[in-house]
Amino acid sequence: MYHDLHGKVAVVTGSAQGIGRGIAQRLAREGCKLVLNDIAEEALALTAGELREQGAQVLSIVADVGSRPQVEAMFAQAEAWQGGVDVLVNNAGWSVPVSHLLEMTESHWDDVLRTNLKSMFLCTQTAARSMVEAGRDGSIVCLSSFGATRAHRAMAAYDASKGGVEGFTRAAALDLAPFGVRVNAIGPGAIHTEFFDHEGLEGQRTRARPVPLGRVGQVQDIASGAAFLASSDASYITGQVLYIDGGMHAQLRPPEMDRPLPDALGRFRRAAHAHLQDQ
């Protein structure tokens, strides 16, 4: 637990479902007062209701974070509710539908960049202005992806947006450091959310095959990283990207592409494989 987060006001965008919902749940357990945001009104209401039942103080705001007027209105409501903001988690994003570069429309490109990158600029700038004016040492956490440095097929717009998120995170960290506002990012790998439930256990195993740790990540893995970066335990960390990806960034190629190993090493590899299968 990060006791310094208790009573802090945290805005989590895209928090109706998936990773954003998990981050909101974790920050609620840390004692944060939550401003939840999404464009999915019904799902947002359900998440807010669940957190209130658990004792969290929650303000729920339906807003498009790609729109400056709506972003400014959201933070104005947060300030009116609690007097300011201490933590911002830029989670809102869009990864589907995929689109091959040869078939991608300009509107698809614009929509992805607006949702994944412009929204982070708008929310970060608005939150940071509030933090600086109030003299708060704030923390801003941006959700990137391992797609920022490792390309997906048929996802040029998405990967470009996430590369932009990481460049923006570093630049924003430098601009805001003199004011005591930290800016970091998390790069999730293959994470299981409710959107993958229909694939079942076999789907999880398929997604886990190239992951060195042998499993897909869980929402809680990302939420733990967000809580850490938001807390004072990370008070000397800014401008960084924390990859939570089961080791995907560390490997040159997936296991099935490795050369045959000598017998001794092969025994260890087989033992490791058996261990992963038992998990």
Cβ atoms of 5 and 30 within 8 Å: the answer is yes
Beta strands in the chain (DSSP E): 9-12, 33-38, 58-62, 87-90, 139-143, 182-188, 191-192, 217-218, 241-244
Regarding beta strands 191-192 and 87-90, do their DSSP bridges make them parallel or antiparallel, or are they unpaired? unpaired
Assess contact for 85 and 75: CB atoms under 8 A.
yes
Q: Do residues 188 and 14 make contact, with C-beta atoms less than 8 angstroms apart?
A: no
Closest listed residue to residue 23, CA positions, set 82, 90, 84, 74:
90
Q: 2, 158, 236, 243: which is the annotated catalytic residue?
A: 158
Joined together, the tokens standing for residue 72 give 């400014």
Residue the block writes with tokens 């608005």? 126
The answer to whether the beta carbons of residues 119 and 65 sit under 8 Å apart is yes
Q: Is 158 labeled as catalytic in the residue annotation?
A: yes
Catalytic residues: 158
